[in-house]
A and B are shown apart, each in its own frame.
Chain A
Amino acid sequence: GDSVTQMEGPVTLSEEAFLTINCTYTATGYPSLFWYVQYPGEGLQLLLKATKADDKGSNKGFEATYRKETTSFHLEKGSVQVSDSAVYFCALSPRSGGGSEKLVFGKGTKLTVNP
């Protein structure tokens, strides 16, 4: 079945460091890909998305590119801030249009950014 694998955490960085969180997926067909973020004490929020190969999703300085050839969707940010401390989840939706069916999540990566 469909699955998502993301790098194990926790990840601890200093402010202004470069961030990469790796995510790879296994899916039949052409899924849509997402990064969700869970800030401390808050619910899950969509951070960015990409619905087809070579699409780049971006938001709040974060970027991820849908790479079909490597089945990857790595999350990057050039300069992290303390406020980026959160748990990040990579996810896929099996329908290529990103249609409202179940999301398949990775296990999450906890990021802590120190001042």
Chain B
Amino acid sequence: GAGVSQSPSNKVTEKGKDVELRCDPISGHTALYWYRQSLGQGLEFLIYFQGNSAPDKSGLPSDRFSAERTGGSVSTLTIQRTQQEDSAVYLCASSTDRNSYEQYFGPGTRLTVT
């Protein structure tokens, strides 16, 4: 079946612009995660959605970052007023429920801020 998909695969933007990154989780997966993979920081958790519960936003690095998940499926990560330090690969993952051991990762969106 289809895995986690993300779009775009690559995004180049100018400093100060807003960007939106999209994640389509595996159908039926109730948990959805965003991570950021950067050279200096490795893989960092950003935000977690589980069903209709309030999201865990504890990993968002600043108030320029926000995410939403509509209808319990597709999620959008928005970065406002992008900075060069936002350049990274943004990874989305999903899992079946809060008791699942395995998170399934998408291919990522490579964001470059010039």
Contact = CB atoms under 8 A, between A and B. Distances in A.
Interface residues of B, number: 29
A101 B56 contact: yes
Interface residues of A, number: 25
A102 B101 contact: no
Contacts of B33: 102-103
A49 B101 contact: yes
Given A43-B107, A108-B42, A101 B101 contact: no
A107 B101 contact: no
Given A107-B42, A108-B42, A102 B48 contact: yes
Interface string A77-115: 000000000000101010001111111111110000000
B98 A100 contact: yes
Interface of A: 32, 34, 36, 42-46, 49, 51, 89, 91, 93, 97-108
Interface of B: 3-4, 31, 33, 35, 42-45, 48, 50, 56, 58-59, 91, 93, 95-103, 105-108
